[in-house]
Amino acid sequence: MHASTGAPAAPREPTIFELSRPGRRAEAQMPPRPTSNAVPESLRRRRRPMLPEVSELQAVRHYTRLSQLNFSIDTHFYPLGSCTMKYNPRGCNQYAMLPEFLARHPLAPESQGQGFLACMYELQEMLKEVTGMRGVSLTPMAGAQGEFAGVAMIRAYHHARGDHARNEIIVPEAAHGTNPATATMCGMKVIEIPVNADGDCDIEALRKVVGPRTAGIMLTNPSTLGVFERGIAHLRALVHDAGGLLYYDGANLNAILGKVRPGDMGFDVIHMNLHKTFSTPHGGGGPGAGAVGVGERLLPYLPIPVVGRDGERYRYLDERDLPASIGRLSGFMGNAGVLLRAYIYMRMVGREGMQRIGEFATLNANYLLARFKQEGFDPAYPHRRATHEFILTMKHAARDLGTTAMDFAKRLLDFGYHAPTTYFPLLVPECLLIEPTETEAKEALDGFVEAMVAIRKEATEDPARLKGAPYTLPVRRLDDVRAAKNLDLTWKPLA
């Protein structure tokens, strides 16, 4: 194993349970102890849960220290393909966390929510405008739930027409894993079709599989290969003529804002990842928001609630207004606070800015691609324009030096760059999917290219150095096999 670089090993932050001492407590946070316990004996808890007993300061220090072990957008550049890690404006957070918004109970009368509901109604309208769809529901709580809503609506549409044979969803092989997983969750059969050497969908392969069993096709555009699907009009015609519907996976919507609209292109349904395109924070894995937009045919099936307007009054539309709805996907109305952040972001960006997003995301990606080409890296699709992202393949380094895309990714962490998306899409060998977003300055992009060049030099001179990376983070490369074999999923006190 390659020796460490001499960077001091970061001290391990113990678990909160190791900081615990019996009888210690944060008294200022507790109500007085009640005198009675009305729980019947047979239903009472007998042993206390093993929660930590720490002071407020210990908790604050512990979680502050843990936070400092993370990369984040506020601290690092994240060229993470298909994830759109752009700046999350602080103002969006501050104004979404006004005390009245935080305190509002979801079941409070609509008369006590006209401010919040006005924001939601206007957000629906703005999302309709940028996508060209006829109706929007904000309830799905993440992209995958938006996908679920979309496919469930497609299913409901066919069933309402008595067309029960349509149980197949076509998905290009480059699709995000949630697409086939969603189709399965909706009780559909997944039919995968290949893409051709230029990264476009294989139209001939599609022609062979469409037919009376086709419920619809799920397309990501620009695709996960970082290119615009040029045959889109042809694809639409093929699927619509066969009686199927078109689903637009909006994961990459950032690339086309203000340039093309899925509704204009004939799509029947789209989900948007508001935590990507509209800049709500990723929060270390969530929350997201996966609003769905639909064309005329799917309007009756939108998930509820939707925010409607009667004159000057806003109100929730529910089962009574949309009796054919696919129903409710959450306990209330989805990730309301995330939606408020997206609303504030869209208002601050505005009409002109919306178009600039697509333009500068595309400029940054194409500039990075050009720089990488100049430096002799291999784009997976050298003859195509990048959209907001592009793929490099590290297959030559893997063949000649034995260093994988993952090795480059891990070494980048030492250089202070979050790794690009690795090994996705699955069909490009040793790939790095790179998306800079519009909020990065040219200097950040240049620095990233320089880091990649330096790492490639290391790979040539001392490939083992890459294999051992990272060296400067709180831990070195972790043993995933051990993690899955010797499952240690909860902290246990030493016996």
Among positions 446-485, residues that touch other proteins (CB under 8 A) are 468, 470, 473-480, 482-484
Q: Which of 238, 245, 291, 329 binds other proteins (CB under 8 A)?
A: 329
Closest by Cα among 254, 248, 250, 249 to 277: 254
292-294 and 306-310 as β-strands: parallel, antiparallel, unpaired?
Answer: unpaired
- Provide the token pair at 436: 């800079």
The residues pairing with 192 across neighbouring beta strands, listed in sequence order, are 171
> Which lies closer to other proteins via its Cβ, residue 126 or residue 210?
126
Q: Give least dist CB 99 to other proteins, A.
A: 7
For other proteins, the binding residues in 65-84 under the rule CB under 8 A are 65-76, 78, 80, 83
Rounded CA separation 13/50 (Å): 19
User: Applying CB under 8 A, which of residues 202, 203, 240, 258 lies at the interface with other proteins?
Assistant: 258
Query: Residue 168: which of 225, 222, 247, 273 has the closest Cα?
Result: 247
Give me the 299-328 binding string for other proteins, x by CB under 8 A, dash otherwise. ----x----------------------xxx
| Binding flag, residue 7, other proteins (CB under 8 A) | no
Contact pick of 108, 165, 237, 454 for other proteins (by CB under 8 A) = 108
Per-residue CA distances from 252 to 104, 240, 361, 484 (Å) = 33, 23, 11, 32
φ/ψ of residue 168, rounded to 5: -120, 135
Q: How far is the CB of 433 from other proteins (least distance, A)?
A: 12
Cα(420)–Cα(81) distance, rounded to whole angstroms? 6
Total binding residues for other proteins by CB under 8 A?
Answer: 204
* Minimum distance, C-beta of residue 5 to other proteins, in the bound complex (Å): 12
| Closest CB 19 distance from other proteins, rounded Å | 9
- Of the pair 65, 399, the CB lying nearest other proteins is at 65
Query: Please, what is the angle between helix 143-160 and helix 178-185, to 10°?
Result: 40
Q: Read off the amino acid at residue 210.
A: V
**Rounded Cα gap, residues 318 and 307, in angstroms:** 9
**Token pair recorded at residue 193:** 């079709």
Nearer to other proteins, 14 or 212 (CB): 14
Subset of residues 148 to 177 that bind other proteins, contact rule: CB under 8 A: 148, 152, 155, 176-177
Task: Using the minimum distance from each CB to other proteins, give the nearer residue, 265 or 399.
Answer: 265
Judged by CB under 8 A, which of 8, 12, 162, 164 binds other proteins? 12
